Structure 1
Amino acid sequence: MGVEVAVDGLSKSFSGQKIWSDVTLTLPPGEVSALLGPSGTGKSVFLKSLIGLLRPERGSVVVSGTDVCACRENELQEVRKRFGVLFQDGALFGSMDLYDNVAFPLREHTRCTEQQVRDIVMSKLDMVGLTGAEDKLPGEISGGMRKRAGLARALVLDPEVILCDEPDSGLDPVRTAYLSQLLIDLNTQIDATILIVTHNIQVARTVPDNLGLLFRGELVAFGPREDLLSSSEPVVRQFLNGRRAGPIGMSEEKDATTAAAEMAADPRMSDVDELLPQLEPSPGLGPRAAVQRRMQRTGRQSAWSGAPQ
């Protein structure tokens, strides 16, 4: 089962310029969460901070009792093994076929025999629907297949937490739909904690159990998807509906008076769109264990209900 990731008061800047400050949230164990926000709000920086690739100025990231922000390098290496990361571009080695790309972490970080490596690699490739493609080079396959290969590599060490940095970038809507279903199916099968960084509103509306939004260096909101999808908060409504009227501008610095006037002139700003049902696991996989835990945690009857309970 996935583990809880508790983020408290996290703040990060580059050369004195604030990226975000005092970010506090908890990724519930085994649940799927998504982090939204306009371009340039530091969502990828946040992911890198969770695994210690970047060191925040303040705050903590606690995973199974270990603070990623304060631990020594040898402890950091151990806690990183709890994470699997799907990078935005897949981050595959172009000179290696898919088999060797997926096998790479096993050969680097374990003492598995080659037969054990093969068993694990083929299992993970099968899990993401790439059986039969193991001999292909990254340059010989589609963008969607590269994403799935990157996901297979993220899975080989059996992570308890999976971080996905814009997994839908560069994909058409159909491939994005397949990838969204794959993430739900993987959560059903391995019960890992998953955090998805995305700009895709359809993904945000249908995949996660929990949603968060970064804006102007702050975490505007984080909580159950139903709460954010029905929120009246102007920046949340604007982003989730993809409208020009609202606080978000081209530079993210829209004048407050201008934003207020635009919202007053747009009658749709007060509308609450129909809450789409959350994706369910593919037939034959059974229910997600996260659903029962989420029911107990939030008091909601269903994580994929068509309306708040």
Structure 2
Amino acid sequence: MHVVMAGASGFLGTHLTAHLRAHGHTVTHLVRRGSTSPNESAWDPYAGQVDRDLVASSDVVVNLAGVNVAGNPHSRSWASRVMSSRVVTTALLAEAIAEADRPPAYIAGNGISFYGDHGDAPLTEESESRGDALLTRVTREWQAATEPARAAGARVCVLRTAPVLDRSTAPLKPMIPLFSAGLGTRMGDGRQYFPVISLRDWVGAAAFLLESRDVAGVFNLCCPTTPTNAEYTEALASVLGRKAFLAAPAPVLRVAAGRMAPEILGSLNARPAALERAGFDFQDQDVHEVLAAALA
């Protein structure tokens, strides 16, 4: 298949590209500079510019573009960029797909924050979205931006991605030296659920959906058994041969984390129900297996 991918230079895009090419697919990257190879195509999403013939001739379009959420949570301009970098890119590609005579499939990145804080209630793809936390609002508009493609009859898969754990990148990378030094810290009371997924399962799930010609809709990309923050903290400390005795009080976190506090203190007991129904087999079922894979 011919895959056109935005956000391909990021962590997930780099690994997904390598996987797809290793399995015989052709991948063309959309780049925000002059293209330097036949595998690249220049685009400017904020000017509404993309090669629509390229999009129309592809089998699948993947959008993983977006400003890193690890920015200044107290900055309005950062919050605006987090929103626009996702919604603008998603909308432009959805519109280009909708214009095609034979609309290609659309694999659209998104986030597990869509649901908002639900306490300990299990969350599947049918669960409602609650609250007005920054990333919850972002994910709603992000998903809505795919609508032109769906309305045109394209097969659309929305990837509600949980934090992807790998030792080479955030959120796990900065935690390793702290936990290794015995400074592992529970967030608040630690009872909030914290969905995660291993890199190999994220890549496997994204490729599975890309190659599955008869599945569409929204998909939670998280391991089947979601840990609480306390369970995650204990598991990471244990695998590094340490104990985790510290706790960060919730009131302090609300001040320090600003707009990102709901991501730390909110509870998302998510389940990958749609992926499991579609027949995807996870390699890493729980936080212990996810961390073992991430640190291997």
TM interval, shorter chain, is 0.3 to 0.5
More helix by share: 2
- TM-score, normalising length from structure 1? 0.32
TM-score where L is the length of structure 2? 0.33
